[in-house]
Amino acid sequence: MKKIKNGLLWLLCLAMMPAQLILAQEESKDYVMYESIIISPNKAKLKVLWENMQKHNQKYHNTGPYSANVYNISTGAETGNLVWMMGPMKFSDLDSRPAEGGHDEDWRDNIMPYIDDMGAAEYWKADGKLSNLGMMDGTPGQYPIIYVRYWNVEKGQGHNVDQFLETVSSTIKNMPGENPWGVYDNQFRQGEAGRHLATVSFHKKWAELDEPNTFRKSFDEVHGENTWDSFIRNNQATFSNSWDEIWVYDKTMSGD
């Protein structure tokens, strides 16, 4: 998720205009995008949903752009819900997504009766330049703990987003060790719901969250100690809200 014109550590209201989205697509046809759907399971029918979701994904979503992975939301207001995610893909792949041959009927008869609600369905485009994902091989189980931070952009402040994300990106890329981190752009507006951007860090185990945070040290090395306060002020002016979620990969329910 990139420059506002291009409109799962930290996922544009006025700035994210349709014309800018079209321009972004014209600039580059080589991009990676994911479809995500929030699912609220029926707590009394979890076992059946678990079994049916496993069968559905392994039959219809086990390869290519239609691969589906399932995550359990473990923190925040959505705790207990699932994230069903398909990709990586492009918009053009949606024209041939699984539908016929029993797919839609299977979802209708074997998934829908066992869920209470389907929440936001969203399309998230990755920003390959800002992200730091070179150490990842594309296997979901490689980093099963996902730290998602959603961002709402303050009205009229879209022009500041690039500067903020570029500063964070260069800082993370300078940190020692492996620090997989992705920037994702929500492709469609959602009014008051916001969720304009998501930044995501990927972890192999929970214990990594106990390790010392070297972001500030790296920031000072790259940008200078005297720029930290202006970085914080830019953050506060640019975003009206942000919040975190931890997702845990569920291999059994996924299409692997």
pLDDT tens digits for range 136-158: 998 889 999 999 999 999 999 99
pLDDT band, residue 28 (cuts 50/70/90): low
Length of the chain, in residues: 256
DSSP state of 132: B
Q: Looking at residue 24, what is its pLDDT?
A: 42
Q: List, in order of start, the domains of the chain with CATH numbers.
A: 4-250 (3.30.70.100)
Q: Looking at residue 7, what is its pLDDT?
A: 36
Q: What's 135-161 look like in SS3?
A: CCCCCHHHCCEEEEEEEEECCCCHHHH
pTM to 2 decimals? 0.87
The chain-wide mean pLDDT, for the chain, equals 89
H helical segments located in the chain: 18-27, 46-60, 103-110, 161-174, 215-223, 228-238
With beta carbons less than 8 A apart as the criterion, state whether 202 and 16 touch: no
Q: Looking at residue 100, what is its pLDDT?
A: 85
Q: What is the mean pLDDT of residues 206-221?
A: 97
Give the Cα separation of 210 and 248 in Å (integer): 17
- Nearest CA to 113 among 51, 58, 41? 41
Phi, psi of 224 (to 5 degrees): 95, 140
